Every structure is written in structure tokens, then in C-alpha cells.
């Protein structure tokens, strides 16, 4: 089975038969992938859509590793959740580690997985791509687009008015307004 994960930089990694490969060359009708272990010269060729093997892998001089795919998959999940959710990064990290333990009972997660302090810088970088910079003054607070909406896409920022140096912002969902009106 051909399975794909990502490198830290977001490039595709092919996982096949307990080896990992990165793309070396795209030809017209095939893609050549090379072993991710740069001391190993094994290559494998896939079709141009990377759906099937055209030429089997040449002999590896490196060792097979079943855990790399699992680790990259878990890290990929952490990265995805970091981009899409607002939960804190330590929380996402611990939840995904627990999930990894449950899904892979024999895996020594403690020694295999990066620690939170080893991975959090890269997770915070990913979060920063989708989240605006924190304002340092009241005037810098600028809510636009989806930042003004609630989880259901309804208006959440009801009032935004400035009085000299003060600013009044009132937040509420349609649901909460109805509740108060009743
Ligand atoms: Zn290899």
C-alpha cells in the first residue's frame, strides 16, 4: 500500500513497505522517488499520479522502520489540528499522544515521539500562519471576515464603537440574543 505523509516543510513523503521516500524527479509518465535515508540509494518509480508502482524499489542499504510512518501520521494530525482548531497546543499534543498509545499498544511512544518542547515551535509557527498577530493596543484590534462570526457562521461581533480612547465591543450569537429576549 502506498501511503503519504509530509516532511516538516510540507513536502510529500511516500511510505511503502516500511521505507520512506521523497520525490526525486517528475517525468512525463512516471515519478521517481528516492529513499529518505540519504545514505541509501534506493529508488522506486510510481505512475505520474503516484497511484501505482511502475518500477519496484531497488535494494535498500538502510533498515526498514515501521514506526516512522506512525510517528509522521501523528505529527501530521497535530499539525492539522493546530491549523484548524483553537485548542491549546499542549492540549492537542497530549490528546494525540494518548490516541497514538491507544491505537498502537506496543509502541513505546515515550521514547519514539518528539517531546512537546521539541515540536511546539513548529506547531506555533503553523498556527501563526492562520491566526492574526496579537494586538498590543486597543486600536490594533481588527476583526474581519470569519473572526467576526460564531461557529455556525452567524454574526458574533454585535457592537464595535470607539469613544475617544475607549472602545466598546459586544459579542453574542443569535442564539444568546434570543435567550435574553425571552
Ligand atoms: Zn533505503
CA separation for the pair 123, 50 (Å, rounded): 28
Host H or E run for residue 79: helix 67-84
Tell how far the Cα of 88 is from the centroid of ligand 1, in angstroms. 37
Q: Which strands form 53-55's sheet, in the order they lie side by side?
A: 3-6, 12-16, 19-26, 30-35, 43-47, 53-55
Nearest one of 149, 130, 152 to 85, comparing CA atoms: 130
Tell how far the Cα of 24 is from the centroid of ligand 1, in angstroms. 14
Q: Which residues are within 8 A (CB) of 44 and not within 5 positions of it... i.e. 6 or more apart?
A: 14, 16, 21, 32, 33, 53, 55, 56, 57, 58
pLDDT in tens, 125-154: 888 877 777 888 888 888 888 888 988 888
Sign of CA dihedral 18, 68, 11, 4: positive
CA separation for the pair 73, 66 (Å, rounded): 12
Tell how far the Cα of 42 is from the centroid of ligand 1, in angstroms. 5
> What is the reported pLDDT for 64?
94
How is the chain split into domains, by residue range? 3-55, 67-130, 138-181
pLDDT in tens, 39-98: 999 999 999 999 999 999 999 999 999 899 999 999 999 999 998 888 999 999 999 999
Tell how far the Cα of 171 is from the centroid of ligand 1, in angstroms. 56
Tell how far the Cα of 68 is from the centroid of ligand 1, in angstroms. 13
> What is the reported pLDDT for 86?
85
CA separation for the pair 48, 106 (Å, rounded): 36
Tell how far the Cα of 65 is from the centroid of ligand 1, in angstroms. 10
> What is the reported pLDDT for 11?
92
Model pTM score = 0.69
Amino acid at each position: 500500500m502506498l501511503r503519504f505523509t509530509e516532511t516538516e516543510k510540507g513536502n510529500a513523503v511516500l511510505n511503502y513497505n516500511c521505507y520512506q521516500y521523497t520525490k526525486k524527479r517528475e517525468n512525463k509518465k512516471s515519478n521517481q522517488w528516492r529513499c529518505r535515508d540519504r545514505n541509501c540509494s534506493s529508488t522506486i518509480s510510481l505512475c505520474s499520479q503516484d497511484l501505482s508502482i511502475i518500477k519496484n524499489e531497488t535494494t535498500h542499504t538502510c533498515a526498514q522502520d515501521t514506526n516512522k510512518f506512525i510517528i509522521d501520521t501523528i505529527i501530521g494530525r497535530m499539525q492539522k489540528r493546530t491549523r484548524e482548531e483553537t485548542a491549546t497546543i499542549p492540549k492537542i499534543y497530549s490528546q494525540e499522544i494518548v490516541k497514538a498509545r491507544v491505537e498502537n499498544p506496543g509502541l513505546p511512544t515515550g521514547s519514539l515521539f518528539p517531546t512537546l518542547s521539541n515540536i511546539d515551535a513548529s506547531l506555533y509557527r503553523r498556527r501563526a500562519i492562520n491566526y492574526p498577530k496579537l494586538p498590543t493596543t486597543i486600536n490594533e484590534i481588527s476583526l474581519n471576515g470569519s473572526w467576526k462570526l460564531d461557529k455556525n457562521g452567524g454574526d458574533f461581533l454585535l457592537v464595535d464603537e470607539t469613544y475617544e480612547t475607549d472602545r466598546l465591543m459586544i459579542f453574542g450569537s443569535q442564539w444568546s440574543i434570543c435567550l435574553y429576549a425571552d
